[in-house]
Structure 1
Amino acid sequence: MLETAGHPDSENAALIGVHAGGERPATIRDVASHAGVSHQTVARFLKGDTSIKKPARERIKLAIEQLDYRTNRSAQSLKTGKTNTVGLFILEIDDPGPARTVKGAIHAARNAGYVLDTIALDTGDAEEIESVLESIRHQGLDAILSLDYTDQMAQALREADLPIPLMMSNAVAGLGDELASDAPAAGVPFVVQHLAELGHERLLHVAGPHTWPAARRRSRAFEQAVEDRGLVSAGIVNGDWTARSGFDAINSLGPELDFTAVVAANDRMALGVIRALTLRGLRVPDDMSVTGIDDMPDAEFTSPPLTTLRVDFEQAGHDSFLSLLATMKGEPSPVIPLVPAPLVVRESTGPRPAAQK
């Protein structure tokens, strides 16, 4: 059992670790000395203070890694009543995009001295949602962060009236879809403009599930961009983010397709769209152009390489955690400028077929 009484660093007993060499526990003062900063600066770093200058932050992070410094969360909990643990809801655990968002949130949490307790959730199961929310009351979490959510989940979270801070994406729960920072939706006009410049006039949108605010935002952005450019929407078909649903979306249409381009709400559905079009005997992009959103790791290696919006998922996760951290401290959320996801043009888009001009 670790004795802290009388230790010269007993005031920091809640913040201890172990040297990489297996020697005595490393203290906050060890980290400070190694980084060439004051122990107060290290303490501020561990609490998520973003005002510390970048060179000092980098030295502190390096010192923490080299000393294998760890926070003693049990001691810290006894001292402060906080566990420094945040519950993180994961909805699409198999999707590469959300996985990268979680990575960004974990990195931001670690820098702030927090641990993320990931909770995979089946958003279509109301009983599971209620069961998870009930268990949260007994887990000693300091806050809840959901990097995405459905209508059913948002309602359950609001009705749960949890006694800890809650944030859904970058919007405080209950304040509406329009307040959520959404770089993908903001980038949709780039997609539509690109297709317009290629001569396409009638576009189909394969959307995400209509119960997801993120999907609705992308659909609204598509409709507005089409209208602004004097183009024609050939309609919206909802999928469920999977490649299979993109495939089924095309197969749900009649034999004659009255559009020349498809704007899919994510890359996986775009791949399903391309497969369905290919089986109809259509060539992409010679007969039909297809775009996605995400720029998933394999997007440039698909056949054909996919034109898509490049979403910085890790930055989104990082920013979401910092917004939650500010809420936990009772501070204004940091002003994070919305940067639209940039368009990456590859070989899945081309000029409108000459026969349709």
Structure 2
Amino acid sequence: MATSAAKTITNRVSIVDVAVLAGVSTQTVSRVANGSPDVRESTRDKVVAAMQQLGYRPNGAARALKRGSFQTIGVVVFSLASSGTMRTLEAIALHAARQDFAVTLIPVTAHTQAGIRDAFSRVSELAVDAVIGIMEIHLLDAASVTLPPGVKVVFVDSDAGQQYSMVDTDQTDGVHKALQHLLGLGHRTVWHVAGPEESLASERRAAAWRAALTREGRTVPPVLRGDWSADSGYAAGLRLANEPDCTAVFAANDHMALGLLRAFHEKGKSVPDDISVVGFDDVPEASSYTPPLTSVHQDYTEIGKQCIDNILRQIRSNTTEHGITLVPSQLVLRQSTGPRDRTTTPA
């Protein structure tokens, strides 16, 4: 004859099984499973013990139907290669967990409009209440993307415009702080190693760099392009080391700045005595670069918090938000920047 233990292996344990073992009604088991306070502590302890003994797991779908929410947020991710994306994703997941929400990762498998449409179409098949997109939204033909009715949306670091809600670092202010610092040290102009053209973050930083120099009446040098990697920064650094009037460089991210430091070292250029370098992101290891890197700090924790707060407001009020939330940036000063050396640079 089959035992109770055998039943837990061959069949899914039901709420009735828990009620029988605990000697309570199924309604009481349901209240305990849903965290209701209207249960005596001694009764709750009996029900929890029965759940643990039988290996009972509440039916998530049924609970979602009852409360009208899956308590899950989908995150559509364009790429997992960048440290910025990973730090933003970590912040989103941690803040969601503090609000009793889970996160479901939805990667974009092809970096095309079709790939993005496919990622959003998968949202219809998943039990999620909202979607956060960490991606290059300018690749997205919004008219061709269909989201399930009622699903709320927030984009990070994108060009969502007025159609969606967006959270981003104040890119322009961060770049202006970097340029003000370098020009204030006496550098006549600042060269720039930009990220890839298809990146909106790269284009925003390049536009802010150009605007800052123009506003100060400074020469705008030609832009050098990288791909966010240290190798591409290294290649740019080999070229810039041969530019006699290059005394300051702003790199669009810290990894390219790391490549610059290596190239300048190999070319016999001292940082910051000969050339000052500023990065963007303030990655955790920036203080361990040689020399420690001056960088624009992005507050990924606050970005993640703002995304979740925005989504939860939309869910709880059953409304859709639009517009942009900008998270302030901060210039972190370290040893990679210094005054322009007027003795070695032509006037």
Q: Does TM, scored on the shorter chain, surpass 0.5?
A: yes
Q: Deviations over 1:84-131 (max 9, x none)?
A: 221112344243332222222112212322111123335635554344
Cα deviation for residue 228 of structure 1 reads 2.3
**5+ residue gaps in structure 2?**
1-13, 20-24, 49-56
Match of 2:251 in 1: 264
Opposite residue 180 of structure 2, the aligned amino acid is Q
Opposite residue 145 of structure 2, the aligned amino acid is A
Q: Tell me the secondary structure at the aligned position of residue 124 of structure 1.
A: coil
Contact kept in structure 2, 1:83 and 1:140, CA below 8 Å: yes
Cα deviation for residue 135 of structure 1 reads 2.8
Question: Identity of paired residues, percent?
Answer: 31
Residues 1:250 and 2:237 aligned together: yes
User: Could you tell me which of 31, 36, 60 is aligned with 1:73?
Assistant: 60
Are the structure 2 counterparts of residues 97 and 71 from structure 1 closer, same or farther at C-alpha, using a change threshold of 3 Å? farther
Cα deviation for residue 308 of structure 1 reads 0.6
Contact kept in structure 1, 2:241 and 2:267, CA below 8 Å: no
Instruction: Please give the root-mean-square deviation of Cα atoms over the aligned residues, in Å.
Output: 3.4
Opposite residue 177 of structure 2, the aligned amino acid is F
Are the structure 2 counterparts of residues 158 and 334 from structure 1 closer, same or farther at C-alpha, using a change threshold of 3 Å? closer
Select between 339-348 and 77-86 the one with higher mean Cα deviation.
Answer: 77-86
Residues 1:140 and 2:136 aligned together: no
User: Could you tell me which of 145, 159, 181 is aligned with 1:160?
Assistant: 145
Q: Tell me the secondary structure at the aligned position of residue 15 of structure 2.
A: coil
Cα deviation for residue 349 of structure 1 reads 0.7
Cα deviation for residue 197 of structure 1 reads 1.3
Opposite residue 302 of structure 1, the aligned amino acid is Y
Are the structure 2 counterparts of residues 260 and 191 from structure 1 closer, same or farther at C-alpha, using a change threshold of 3 Å? same
Are the structure 2 counterparts of residues 169 and 24 from structure 1 closer, same or farther at C-alpha, using a change threshold of 3 Å? farther
Distance 1:121 1:230 in 2: 43
Distance 1:350 1:265 in 2: 19
Match of 2:15 in 1: 2
Distance 1:92 1:346 in 2: 30
Distance 1:80 1:284 in 2: 59
Residues 1:349 and 2:337 aligned together: yes
Equivalent positions of 1:178-327 (< 5 A) are: 181-251=168-238, 255-327=242-314
Q: Tell me the secondary structure at the aligned position of residue 291 of structure 1.
A: strand
Cα deviation for residue 336 of structure 1 reads 9.1
Contact kept in structure 2, 1:98 and 1:313, CA below 8 Å: no
Distance 1:98 1:25 in 2: 42
**5+ residue gaps in structure 1?**
27-69
Q: Tell me the secondary structure at the aligned position of residue 293 of structure 1.
A: strand
Contact kept in structure 2, 1:286 and 1:350, CA below 8 Å: yes
Select between 122-131 and 301-310 the one with higher mean Cα deviation.
Answer: 122-131
Contact kept in structure 2, 1:192 and 1:225, CA below 8 Å: yes
Q: Tell me the secondary structure at the aligned position of residue 202 of structure 1.
A: coil
Contact kept in structure 2, 1:260 and 1:288, CA below 8 Å: yes
Cα deviation for residue 286 of structure 1 reads 1.3
Match of 2:90 in 1: 103
Distance 2:326 2:161 in 1: 20
Match of 1:66 in 2: none
Q: Tell me the secondary structure at the aligned position of residue 263 of structure 1.
A: strand
Distance 1:257 1:120 in 2: 45
Opposite residue 120 of structure 1, the aligned amino acid is P
Cα deviation for residue 304 of structure 1 reads 0.6
User: Could you tell me which of 57, 69, 79 is aligned with 1:82?
Assistant: 69
